[in-house]
Chain A
Amino acid sequence: MSEPDGDLELQGLQRELDDAFHTTRPRPAFEDELWLKMQTSRPPARRLGDALAAFFQGIREVPAVPLAAVAAVLVVVIGVGIIAYSGRGHLGGGGASSTAGESAARADQLYAGAFGRLPTPAFNGGAKNATAPQAGAGGAVPEYSGPVQLTWTGKLDLTITSAPVYRYNEPSTSSADQFASALGAVLRERPSGFLGSYSASDYTLKVRGTVQSPPSSPAFFIFSSPSMPAIDAAGAGPQDLANIFLAQHSLTPAWGNTIVVDSSGDPIKVRYQRQFDVAGYGAAPLVDVNGDRYGLEVDLSANRPVLVSGLLPVGLETADYKIVAAGDAVQSVLAASSVGNAATPALTVKLTQAELVYVLVPAGGHSFYEPAYLFSGTFQLNGATLVKRVLVPAVDPSQRTP
């Protein structure tokens, strides 16, 4: 770049300028954040089409999963029924359109790569012993956390030997502001524990980053104000209403999900449980440390959204990692049986089901969604039906930090 010049000082200055312009670069996370924002910024006409598509896709089959439990525990823990919603490219709205999916895939391709040794998930209040049995969220089926002797009578056929791990950079105040701005909300303050608090005409938005313990994904929360109107859609059910609201605000999940409607109380809760696609396996749900699925939740009261909460969109990088074989996972679960005592003898619990799931593993400046095995089984105790859940890491120990 520097060109000949009689003045040596000028030449030196030119070299410094070359260096200055070649070394001045944005912070690393900016690249991902901006790419995500670009991918999700689509024209209004396209958004309208997505909104209509989302509406007509509204009636989806409710899966035969005992999900009752799902967000109930989160409600207790967080107080307002926080369900996270994370995702690649959700801002552009639209009912999981192929465009959004392709865009996210392209974003992944840009940043794919091995992540080195991964942190080991902590499933029990920060304990590093990831094979310790964990109490799963109960909901309709209460959980049991006492000592148990575990047996395995189920079947876990797994033909895959590796699974993708996802990594994201911790969202910044700037990315939170961009998310809010895309919704039309204006920054009001940055309260402790949040990246920002924002206001719009009929709701308040709060955005927070990753919570280290208990692990909780970056999330947003929309608290409606009394002026938030009911959704006017004759004959629409809760799921339709939730779809409409999300589409209107460009919040429709672009990721795979299972929709569950809990109409047992007021508000009615419409939950979009996130899934990760694993080649050769299928959809693996995202679960919290208790094994409860999560993604995004719309709480409706008298057809009015009163609370919408979900994972903050983050750019995800992906890399494949070797996973432990199913048989080894079963052995690690059985080895985690706890020993009772005279006062509380260990119960024998038959674990009958197992599936591949994803769990959040915070790691400071960036965090991971790592595969894990979730084992579960129900049993009777004093006439009540209880459930036992056990999470174990799926990533091969050789690929994890001790």
Chain B
Amino acid sequence: MVADRPPFEDLYRDYLGRIYAYVRAQVGTSADAEDITAQVFMNAYQAYARFEARNQTPAAWLFRIARNATLDHFRAHGRRERLRRTIEHQPAAEEDPAGQAEDRIQYRALLAHVAKLPERQRDAISLRHSGLSFDEVGRLMSCSEDAAKMLYHRALKALKEAVQKEGV
């Protein structure tokens, strides 16, 4: 174990909820969020030996894996179709077994609005409110810190308009 690399158990305990929330905001259903979160931590667990704490924070590393897994998910399933099915025709709560047990999500409508934002805006909002700095958001999204800030504020305004238009 590299001296400055925390035990993976610590990462798991500290970041499981945050990663899940980030993914959940992207995909709209708890079942998909669980699948992707599981994939994120399975990948991270297997790759942890190669993680260099000198180069990036554990948070940035995990969120990069989460972001890639989410993008893979959309590529595999088709974002438009998935959104149509999960948002416009969102199944009743009792039809989603994971959703039945997920009793700690209090902002479903708000997150549903986030999920409907354009991809980069959605990503900026989700990464930023998952606790990452603008510098980290920019690195993950392959842009500068300033560009990340601008993107975030555009996303925030778009979200506000969507919320005002459709309500939360």
Which chain A residues have a beta carbon within 8 Å of chain B's beta carbons? 1, 9-10, 13-14, 16-31, 34-35, 37-38, 41, 106, 109-110, 172-174, 178
Contact = CB atoms under 8 A, between A and B. Distances in A.
A18 B25 CA distance: 12
A26 B163 contact: no
B110 A17 contact: yes
- 4 smallest beta-carbon distances between A and B, as pairs: A20-B107, A27-B101, A24-B21, A21-B129
Contact of B42 (A10, A30, A38): A38
Interface in B34-50: 34, 37-38, 41-42, 45-46
B20 interface: yes
Contacts of B12: 35, 38, 110
Given A1-B129, A26-B16, A21 B21 contact: yes
Nearest to A111: B13
A9 B159 CA distance: 11
Contacts of A29: 101
Given A25-B20, A26-B37, A17 B106 contact: no
A26 to B, nearest CB: 5
B130 A21 contact: yes
Contacts of A25: 17, 20-21, 102, 104-105
Give the one of A21, A35, A109 with max B CB within 10 A.
A21
Nearest to B132: A1
Describe A's contact surface by its main secondary structure: helix
B22 interface: yes
B112 to A, nearest CB: 11
19 contacts: A13-B156, A13-B159, A14-B129, A16-B168, A20-B25, A21-B129, A21-B130, A22-B21, A23-B106, A24-B21, A24-B111, A26-B33, A41-B46, A110-B12, A110-B13, A172-B101, A174-B31, A174-B97, A174-B98
A25 B102 CA distance: 7
Nearest to B131: A1
Given A16-B107, A20-B111, 9 more contacts: A13-B163, A21-B21, A21-B126, A24-B20, A27-B98, A29-B101, A30-B101, A41-B42, A110-B9
A14 B156 CA distance: 8
Interface residues of B, number: 45
Nearest to A27: B101
A10 B129 contact: no
A108 B150 CA distance: 45
A109 B7 CA distance: 13
Interface in B1-33: 9, 12-13, 16-18, 20-22, 24-25, 30-31, 33
Give the one of A13, A14, A16, A26 with max B CB within 10 A.
A26
Contacts of A23: 104-107
A358 to B, nearest CB: 26
A27 B110 contact: no
Contacts of B131: 1, 21
B166 interface: no
A27 B13 contact: no
A34 B129 contact: no
B9 A26 contact: no
Interface string B88-116: 00000000011001111111001100100
A26 B34 contact: yes
A218 B110 CA distance: 38
Contacts of A26: 16-17, 20, 30, 33-34, 37, 98, 102
A7 to B, nearest CB: 8
A22 B156 CA distance: 18
Contacts of A34: 16, 37-38, 41
Contacts of B160: 9-10, 13
B116 to A, nearest CB: 14
Contacts of B9: 106, 109-110
A28 B30 CA distance: 13
Contact of B129 (A9, A20, A28, A109): A20
B157 interface: yes
Contacts of B20: 24-26, 30
A141 to B, nearest CB: 45
Nearest to B20: A26
Contacts of B41: 34, 38
A10 B161 CA distance: 10
B69 interface: no
A248 B22 CA distance: 37
A37 B97 contact: no
A24 B97 contact: no
Contacts of A31: 16
B125 interface: yes
Given A174-B34, A174-B98, A16 B17 contact: no
A10 B156 contact: yes
